[in-house]
Amino acid sequence: MPDVMDINNNILVAENLVKHFPINQSGIFKKKWIAVKAVDGINFSVKQGECFGLVGESGSGKSTTAYMTVGMYAPTSGSLVFKGEDIARPAVKRPMHLKKDIQIVFQDPGSSLNPMRNIQNILEMPLRVHNMIKKGDSIEKKVIDLLDRVELPSHYRFKSPITLGGGERQMVAIARALATKPSFMVLDEPTSALDVSVQGKIINRLIRLQKEFGLTYLFITHDLSLMRNVATRIAIMYLGKIAEFASANEFFQKPLHPYTQMLLSSIPILFEEEAKLKPNKIHSVGEIPSPVDVPPGCSFNTRCPFKTDICFVEDPVMREIEPEHYARCHNI
């Protein structure tokens, strides 16, 4: 992996980051605790001003990584450093300046916005919590300004979230995240719960906001095709570990890991030019193992068409295969 301890231009650095969830499987005659290995020792760094894409299927650990970043979960072990400051602890134990500087936009705006409050109440709440209202300030003006940033009319402040469409609700959620003037935003699949017709509008607005306010994004998604036009660098997660890591251009031009090739080969294409960039079709076999019972050796060995004997006994380590292009595989 990249030298994650090199803090030059890095705003977020994770080293050997682990999150295991204990589950009680006690029976009548004995007690038994097992661990769900949601995130199992990952290393990555996010550079100032970039959009870092963290991609994987459901259960890969990408959202758990996001929730540790914002403090919803505390890591089981490992380090998580933001602007040189240790943040590997729950949000309730973080100082206010960290809560203000790191914000999140959740996947489903229908559940992340309080239906009992109007938009005015929702957007003014973070302003009040973080003491961003000075004497003589107009709350209404600040809320209208936030709505304007996401291209929503000022009269929307009187509406309830349940009266808005999915795309409009997500715009409100983005406006709420912007209210504290953060430098870092976690985007947890911000378009996956929306109609295709509004996804592009949300993405374009996020790109413009990033340029306008110098934001850094940790973009969580299962949609690789989306990352082609959004991400600066991409990491692929599988069963709690990072399988491949590279710049977006290198990633799509020369995928190395069999799992990455499998994901890319399954992306629908519209033009012949896109077909030329896709790797040969790889058919995976078997099913995704449970994070409670990860197979020995390489965790992808139950599905990999290129597995060899070593894949069943030894877990591969991340190696730099080409400059700034890393993969965790025995057979590359």
pLDDT of residue 214: 95
pLDDT of residue 228: 85
pLDDT of residue 330: 94
Q: What is the enclosing helix (H) or strand (E) of 283?
A: none
Beginning with the edge strand found earlier in the chain, give each strand of the sheet holding 33-47 in spatial order.
33-47, 10-24, 77-82, 85-86
Write out the two tokens for 253: 């031009």
Q: Cβ neighbours of residue 101 under 8 Å, at least 6 residues apart?
A: 82, 83, 180, 182, 183, 184
pLDDT of residue 1: 46
What DSSP letter does each residue of 189-200 carry, written as one string?
A: STTTTS-HHHHH
**By the 8 A CB rule, do 35 and 23 touch?**
yes
pLDDT of residue 102: 97
Angle between the N-to-C axes of helices 196-213 and 166-178, in degrees from 0 to 180, rounded to the nearest 10: 20
Neighbours of 329 (CB within 10 A): 23
pLDDT of residue 267: 67
**What is the radius of gyration, based on Cα positions, of the chain?**
21
pLDDT of residue 278: 59
The separation between CA 319 and the C-alpha centre of its own chain, rounded to angstroms, equals: 23
Q: How far apart are CA 131 and CA 31, in angstroms?
A: 49
Which among 63, 67, 49, 47 has a CA at the least distance from the CA of 7? 47
pLDDT of residue 283: 66
The model's pTM: 0.90
CATH class of 10-327: alpha beta
3-state secondary structure of 324: coil
Q: Could you write out the three-class secondary structure of 205-253?
A: HHHHHHHHHCCEEEEEECCHHHHHHHCCEEEEEECCEEEEEEEHHHHHH
Per-residue pLDDT of the chain (332 residues; tens, 9 = 90+): 444 434 468 999 999 999 999 888 766 666 677 889 999 999 999 999 999 999 998 889 999 999 999 999 999 999 999 999 999 988 888 999 999 999 999 998 888 899 999 999 999 999 999 998 887 778 999 999 999 999 999 999 999 999 999 999 999 999 999 999 999 999 999 988 788 878 889 999 999 999 999 999 999 998 888 898 899 999 999 999 999 999 999 988 899 999 998 888 776 555 555 555 555 666 666 677 888 888 899 999 999 989 999 999 999 999 999 999 999 999 98
